[in-house]
Structure 1
Amino acid sequence: MAMLNVLKHRDVSRRSLLSGFAAAGITAVLLPRTSSAADVVGVASEEIQPFKVEVSEAALADLRRRLAETRWPDGETVVDRSQGVQPDRLKELVSYWQSSYDWRKAESRLNAFPQFLTNIDGLDIHFVHVRSRHENALPLIMTHGWPGSVFELLDVIGPLTDPTAHGGMADDAFHLVIPSIPGFGFSGKPPATGWNPQRIAAAWDVLMKRLGYDRYVSQGGDWGAIISDALGRQAPDGLLAIHVNRVERATTFPADAAQALKNGEPAPDSLSPDEKVVFDEARDFLNNGFGYAAIMSTRPETVGYGIADSPVGLAAWLYDKIADWVYTRGDPAQALGKDAILDNITLYWLTNTGPSSGRIYWENAMSGAKLTPVKVPVAVTVFPGEVYKPPKHWLSKAYPKLVYYNRVSKGGHFAAWEEPELFSQEIRDAFRSLRS
């Protein structure tokens, strides 16, 4: 269990935070404060409390010890990635993790941005909040996915909040709110069922209103896109539009193509040659790349035992999909760098959120939510390394108010992480028409 000293902040509900972090394997150090009603366990607080990451040396030493004592599996019986992460590649990463990687740099990078906790619907939500210096900046809530974290989005904070320093115009500035999804990072781990994308979306609206943003936009990829879609279906007052860089196949695939996919049949003749490529890619993903989602949608706790106990097991579990989904297929270090990959994996390890993060798949599968059309204006950017790349005309039913659609030349599933400058420009372009 990770041993962490992660908090030094003021105006904190001691009992509720300590009990919450203790359940997550975290030791919290809180600054003195006067007593208040918020000290009573179970009393929800609407306070917004500063947050700082401080991992103990004991936790890092424990990680290095576990890495050194890894029992490795036998080598694969193939020469490609068809059986999963290749041992040679993972051993190289783990060797670097044990001997050279420096978590303190990642910690400093996180702490360079204002971070906060607030309690919403009974759960502590961690978020980064950076206000722009430019007048009339547009409030934007951005949500990461799995197997990612807030680390995915740190490189776009500068370009989006201060565009003039990054080749943009002051009129394109955003105030940024970047929360950690419940069960991820430093957000609380839901103690009971029900934290599905719809509930998270509602919590995000509460968060933005609590911060004083009565008008805002939402953005996401992976689960962030699903949460943004859910928010767009709820269409709370003040939500102007959403942007996604990952489109839901279930809501956009043509009916005859979906039936053929379900039946294991070839692409129907009604599809054009380009559309058949999209069909074949979807079929390949479902046949060869969907196992991670199948197990987390049905038995997340089972895999959780291994990834909670073994940092190498956790690394393999996360690295497998990072490697699958970056634009440089199979080589995430080329797209992201070893340190960036390990920043993300180490965050999962130190917070023991490998198991809890996977439960969002189960929650989504159990929710029974109706995927009705999104009610607000929608902008879509299709990156060439994304798993599913639908043509524009497939989106009309899911996004009847589609106001922006663009296909770019580089970048994968982790668009903001891989191509922060290109991604930032897409966000500026996508929301520009809403500023008038």
Structure 2
Amino acid sequence: MKNVTEFKVSIPQSDIDDLKARLKNVRWPGEEQGSDWTFGTSEIYLKKLVNYWATTFDWRKQEATLNKYPQYIAVVDGVKIHFQYIKGSGKNSKPLILTHGWPDSYYRFHKIIPQLTTGEQSFDLVIPSIPGFGFSEKKSLTTEAVADLWKKLMTENLGYTKFYAAGGDVGMGVTKALASKYADVVAGVHFTDIGYPMGQEDPTTMSEDEKQFAQFVQQWWYTEGAYAMVQATKPQSLAYGLNESPTGLAAWIVSFGAAGATPDILENAFGGKDELLTNISIYWFTQTIGTSMRMYKADAIAQWSGTPPLQKSNVPAGIAVFPREAQFPKEWAERFVNVVSYTKMKEGGHFAALEVPDVFAAELKKFFFTLK
């Protein structure tokens, strides 16, 4: 490995004490009686979560879990990248980089590490934190710029001549950019979502299934898409409050997770309060909620400035559509990537690696190990 140093998560006790003090001194705004989640995060639910965070949640225990697997810091084009790197046990392990999204973190993939690194069909897993997220440098970059860093991380820092990539949410965009720009070194890609119609498509070129998907997405943006609009336009204004108040940070993240599903879907997806709060705590302790949200603005600026869209990739792509995810048709995915596998999954959602880790890991193995 080149320009790589070992890393351990070690949060100062003073930061933990400060967090608990803030959680015990909340000015609650109040809510309409019986409003539940109608206006955003339920105060009834949030009070229970915050109380658990302040009195029961054990960061040191979760920190030990985060340090269970090898972690490193690599300097790539002058940017410090935090990543987990776990070698597979198989003789022909495939190098695979997994990219998380927002509002999660590299912690999204912690449950599938054992399944993907053991047995004959195993991977050399590289799980980085996107710049501006978690323990990577607090620097907001565009999706394409992150893909450029990932390519160099895999080929120059880690020395692979070919590698595979998978991702969802923001990680989908990074993975799609890797396939489009670096087909010479990216041997295969996998997605759980593939982007959404934004009203710029020519309706005459769209199938009926695509039109129905576009209508669904339009409705979703009107009812649940406020977070993306704020983060793509005024992320700095929002960052002050979320960086100051752990309760506000939790409310924003949990509100996103609950969108369009059961109120506590994010908690369920993460496997319980401890895992949900571990993810939120990573944002809190690293003070990266602001830089993570500014990535939306960076991508928006690139789009407004006329940056040419990515060309369709010829890299073999696998698609897994989970039932609690936007149900895009195969022909929509084929606009962007070379779909060689399209599977409608029976269970799971947006955070499939956390919700149904065994199912998700099996899907990745099935796809990547059928590629020649």
2:311 aligns with: 372
1:201 aligns with: 147
Q: 1:116 touches 1:126 (CA, 8 Å); kept in 2?
A: yes
- Structure possessing the higher radius of gyration over alpha carbons: 1
Give the counterpart of 1:106 among 40, 55, 62.
Answer: 62
Q: 2:311 touches 2:336 (CA, 8 Å); kept in 1?
A: yes
Percent sequence identity over aligned pairs? 36
2:171 aligns with: 224
Once residues 351 and 112 of structure 1 are traced to their aligned partners in structure 2, the CA distance between those partners, rounded to angstroms, is 19
Secondary structure at 1:433's aligned position in 2?
coil
Q: CA deviation at 1:78?
A: 5.7
**Over residues 114-169 of structure 1, what are the superposed CA-to-partner deviations in whole Å (9 max), with x where a residue is unaligned?**
0000111211000000001111111000000000001110111110111x3xxxxx
Q: CA deviation at 1:253?
A: 9.1
**Over residues 224-247 of structure 1, what are the superposed CA-to-partner deviations in whole Å (9 max), with x where a residue is unaligned?**
101001111102532111101111
Secondary structure at 1:426's aligned position in 2?
helix
- Equivalent AA in structure 2 for residue 359 of structure 1: R
2:290 aligns with: 355
Q: CA deviation at 1:285?
A: 1.2
Q: 1:235 touches 1:375 (CA, 8 Å); kept in 2?
A: no
Within the alignment, does 1:133 sit opposite 2:79 as a pair?
Answer: no
1:302 aligns with: 237
**Over residues 408-432 of structure 1, what are the superposed CA-to-partner deviations in whole Å (9 max), with x where a residue is unaligned?**
0111111101111010011011212
Once residues 239 and 293 of structure 1 are traced to their aligned partners in structure 2, the CA distance between those partners, rounded to angstroms, is 29
Which range moved further: 353-362 or 374-383?
374-383
Once residues 53 and 290 of structure 1 are traced to their aligned partners in structure 2, the CA distance between those partners, rounded to angstroms, is 33
Within the alignment, does 1:433 sit opposite 2:367 as a pair?
Answer: no
Gaps of 5+ in 1: 1-44, 165-169, 259-267
Give the counterpart of 1:233 among 180, 188, 211.
Answer: 180
Query: What aligned pairs does 1:265-414 form with structure 2 within 5 A after superposition?
Result: 271=208, 278-324=213-259, 328=262, 330-335=264-269, 336-368=271-303, 369=307, 370-386=309-325, 388-399=326-337, 401-414=338-351
Once residues 144 and 407 of structure 1 are traced to their aligned partners in structure 2, the CA distance between those partners, rounded to angstroms, is 21
Once residues 48 and 138 of structure 2 are traced to their aligned partners in structure 1, the CA distance between those partners, rounded to angstroms, is 32
Once residues 67 and 26 of structure 2 are traced to their aligned partners in structure 1, the CA distance between those partners, rounded to angstroms, is 31
TM-score of the two chains, using structure 1 as the length reference: 0.80
Q: CA deviation at 1:82?
A: 2.6
Secondary structure at 1:240's aligned position in 2?
strand
Secondary structure at 1:88's aligned position in 2?
helix
Once residues 147 and 287 of structure 1 are traced to their aligned partners in structure 2, the CA distance between those partners, rounded to angstroms, is 20
CA RMSD, 1 decimal: 2.2
1:415 aligns with: 352
Secondary structure at 1:304's aligned position in 2?
helix
Q: CA deviation at 1:255?
A: 3.0
Secondary structure at 1:139's aligned position in 2?
strand
Q: 1:124 touches 1:188 (CA, 8 Å); kept in 2?
A: yes
1:63 aligns with: 19
Once residues 173 and 251 of structure 1 are traced to their aligned partners in structure 2, the CA distance between those partners, rounded to angstroms, is 38
Once residues 331 and 198 of structure 1 are traced to their aligned partners in structure 2, the CA distance between those partners, rounded to angstroms, is 30
Q: 1:46 touches 1:120 (CA, 8 Å); kept in 2?
A: no
Q: 1:139 to 1:425 in 2, by over 3 A?
A: same
Gaps of 5+ in 2: none
Once residues 226 and 233 of structure 1 are traced to their aligned partners in structure 2, the CA distance between those partners, rounded to angstroms, is 10
Q: 1:69 to 1:61 in 2, by over 3 A?
A: same
1:242 aligns with: 189
Q: CA deviation at 1:73?
A: 0.7
- Equivalent AA in structure 2 for residue 395 of structure 1: A
- Equivalent AA in structure 1 for residue 192 of structure 2: N
Q: CA deviation at 1:284?
A: 2.3
TM-score of the two chains, using structure 2 as the length reference: 0.93
- Equivalent AA in structure 2 for residue 197 of structure 1: T
